[in-house]
Amino acid sequence: MKIIMLGAPGAGKGTRAAMIADYFNIPHISTGDIFRANIKNGTQLGMEAKGFMDQGLLVPDELTVKILLDRVAADDCREGYILDGFPRTIPQAEVLDQELVKMGDKVDYAIDVDVPDDVIIDRMSGRRACLKCGATFHIAHVPPKQEGICDKCGAELIQRADDAPETVKNRLTVYHEQTQPLIDFYQGKGILKQVSGTGAVKDALQDMLAVLI
């Protein structure tokens, strides 16, 4: 089963992707993780990507797809995989489809985790992080025992710049402009499945299995 996860930043698609990966015993593939692994291992593709990243440039779609295809060609992907974080745009999706066809492969499902913008803004702007130990909290949903102090190490908690309300709104604007059209793209292919991202996390796996099985 080959699956693409779609959803706005903060929608919870990464959490749900990990659940499906565990259930079906298939790899959860994050493009960020692939980039880091290739760069760490000094692969040719990784060094090419690093060249762009060191200049503050986006890695070209063609190179990103090459790195992705190299990963999905691995033995552990024979029974399927879940792509998290790619594609983000229609051109990326088209390049991915074309290259998968050459491999005799295709995507089976695209799962859209649907969450209203106001819920995402609340989720992300309420996050607090400990820079010392990496622990994360939420002022409403997972508050620390002492306000502003990490439960684990006692260091000060901060709001990351990425989680500031205005930053989140800007990220959502980019998402709606660039990534949301993928919903129509995969709907047109007849492989789109939608699930709500506002329910209880404990019910998330069953919600997804209901549209997959």
CA distances 44 to 52, 81, 169, Å, are 13, 24, 37
**Residue type for position 87:** P
Catalytic annotation, pick one of 13, 16, 66, 128 = 13
Nearest partner of 66 among 82, 42, 86, judged by Cα? 86
Can you read off the two tokens belonging to residue 16?
């749900």
13 catalytic, yes or no? yes
Nearest to 10 by CA among 141, 83, 119: 119
- From the list 2, 16, 123, 127, the catalytic residue is 127
Residue 16 CA neighbour count, 13 Å, CB half: 31
Is residue 16 within 8 A of residue 111, CB to CB? The reply is: yes
Q: Is 123 noted as a catalytic residue in this protein?
A: no
CA angle 118, 203, 128 (to 5 degrees): 45
* Candidate list 50, 88, 169, 193, residue with the active-site label: 88
Query: Known catalytic residue: 152?
Result: no
Active-site residue flag, 2: no
Q: Give Cβ neighbours of residue 155 (< 8 Å, ≥ 6 apart).
A: 130, 131, 132, 133, 149
> Which member of 2, 16, 66, 171 is catalytic?
171
Residue 36 catalytic? no
Catalytic position from the list 160, 169, 193, 202? 160
Interatomic CA distance for residues 38 and 64, integer angstroms: 11
Active site residues per annotation: 13, 88, 127, 160, 171
